């Protein structure tokens, strides 16, 4: 792993692209933590949410350091049909398969929806400890997603830790605004999931010894982000000229039988009395804004 921070064009492109990915893909983590915290009594919601968000950031940093050590194990441990596989290769293949599965599944659920139930409401008594345990498990899944994506884009540990801490730090205090933006622009979410799929395929190829220049991966991603930004600016100006509100495509909810209304209202409502989804002393539950609706995040 590298620890240098030389400002080369490639490194800047990696940093910016990874930063955007961490923000867009990580906002789901913030919202799901808020959904779990909203199941508690109001006086415990803020404490559970703040603890969960803090643990999520710490878990990411620990996993980054651990992953940085894992991928240095490059000695072959077995051979299949003349092709040697090291611990690093196995981690890359497993991580790539995980990202491909995660991206395809998320895209499917966002567009096609789900019929089967995944909720656990009413099955167990909701306690502060059980909610924290669920948050830790959720953090682990989202952290793996985040860390594998980061390692797949660069081996510079300093860049990865900086992006992880900076992006999650911003989400802790600006989750409401990030959620609202992604909710109003579902193409941003779809673009991030497409990037996740691309990185997953890249990692699988690397694991099987097919070495691809990383510039061929992250430069097109950076270009795609620039194009999407221009599209958003154009759409906003067009809507302003025509004096009408731009309607986002409505994506489907991730889990059909989980009540997300409290956390979504807290994230979208501008009412000072509404709840909170970032670091705050306010509970998740608060005043709902009937004028807001969930669209882009499904």
Residue 43 or residue 298, greater confidence: 43
Distance of alpha carbon 191 from alpha carbon 166, whole angstroms: 21
DSSP character for 53?
H
Expressed in percent and rounded to 5, the helix, strand and coil fractions of the chain are 65, 5, 30
Distance of alpha carbon 273 from alpha carbon 286, whole angstroms: 6
pLDDT at 258 exceeding the cut of 70? no
DSSP character for 6?
-
Distance of alpha carbon 15 from alpha carbon 150, whole angstroms: 10
Model confidence at 248, in pLDDT bands (50, 70, 90)?
low
Check the CA dihedral 64-65-70-71 and report its sign.
positive
Of 155-169, 215-229, 265-279, which gets the smallest average pLDDT? 265-279
pLDDT of residue 251: 65
Quickly tell me which residue has 């669920």 as its tokens: 134
**Domain parsing of the chain, residue ranges:** 20-268
pLDDT at 152 exceeding the cut of 50? yes
Distance of alpha carbon 197 from alpha carbon 97, whole angstroms: 9
Q: What is the pLDDT of residues 60-89, one digit of tens each?
A: 888 877 777 776 777 778 788 878 888 778
pLDDT at 3 exceeding the cut of 70? no
Of 41-45, 81-85, 276-280, which gets the smallest average pLDDT? 276-280
Q: What is the pLDDT of residues 179-205, one digit of tens each?
A: 777 777 788 878 888 888 888 888 888
pLDDT at 55 exceeding the cut of 80? yes
pTM listed for this prediction: 0.67
Q: Give residues with Cβ within 8 angstroms of 84, minimum separation 6.
A: 76, 78
Residues 100-114 have a mean pLDDT of: 78
pLDDT at 175 exceeding the cut of 80? no
Cα-Cα-Cα-Cα torsion 91, 92, 94, 96, nearest 10 degrees, comes to: 160
CB of 71 closer than 8 Å to CB of 185: no
Residue 297 or residue 81, greater confidence: 81
Q: Give residues with Cβ within 8 angstroms of 86, minimum separation 6.
A: 73, 74, 75, 76, 77
Helix, coil or strand: residue 2 = strand
Distance of alpha carbon 92 from alpha carbon 236, whole angstroms: 40
**DSSP calls for 64-119:** HHHHHHHTT--SEEEEETTEEEEHHHHHHHHHHHHHHHHHHHHHHHHHH---S---
């Amino acid at each position: 792993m590298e620890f240098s921070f030389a400002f080369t064009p490639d490194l800047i492109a990696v940093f910016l692209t990874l930063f955007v990915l961490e923000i867009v893909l990580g906002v789901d983590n913030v919202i799901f933590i808020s959904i779990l915290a909203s199941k508690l009594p109001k006086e415990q919601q803020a404490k559970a949410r703040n603890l969960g968000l803090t643990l999520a950031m710490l878990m990411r940093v620990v996993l980054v350091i651990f992953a940085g050590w894992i991928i240095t194990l490059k000695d072959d441990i077995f051979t299949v049909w003349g092709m040697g596989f090291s611990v690093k290769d196995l981690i890359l293949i497993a991580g790539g398969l995980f990202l491909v599965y995660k991206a395809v599944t998320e895209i499917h659920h966002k567009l096609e929806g789900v019929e089967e139930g995944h909720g656990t409401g009413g099955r167990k008594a909701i306690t502060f400890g059980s909610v924290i345990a669920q948050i830790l498990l959720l953090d682990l899944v989202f952290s793996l997603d985040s860390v594998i994506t980061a390692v797949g884009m660069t081996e510079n540990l300093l860049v990865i830790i900086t992006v992880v801490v900076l992006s999650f730090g911003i989400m802790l205090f600006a989750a409401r605004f990030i959620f609202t933006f992604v909710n109003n622009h579902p193409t941003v979410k779809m673009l991030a999931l497409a990037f996740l799929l691309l990185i997953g395929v890249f990692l699988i190829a690397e694991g099987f010894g097919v070495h691809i220049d990383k510039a061929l991966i992250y430069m097109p991603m950076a270009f795609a982000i620039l194009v999407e930004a221009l599209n958003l600016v154009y759409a906003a100006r067009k809507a302003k000229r025509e004096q009408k509100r731009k309607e986002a495509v409505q994506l489907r909810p991730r889990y059909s039988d989980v009540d997300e209304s409290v956390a979504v209202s807290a994230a979208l409502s501008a009412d000072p009395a509404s709840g909170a989804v970032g670091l705050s002393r306010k509970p998740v539950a608060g005043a709902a804004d009937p004028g807001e609706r969930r669209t882009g995040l499904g």
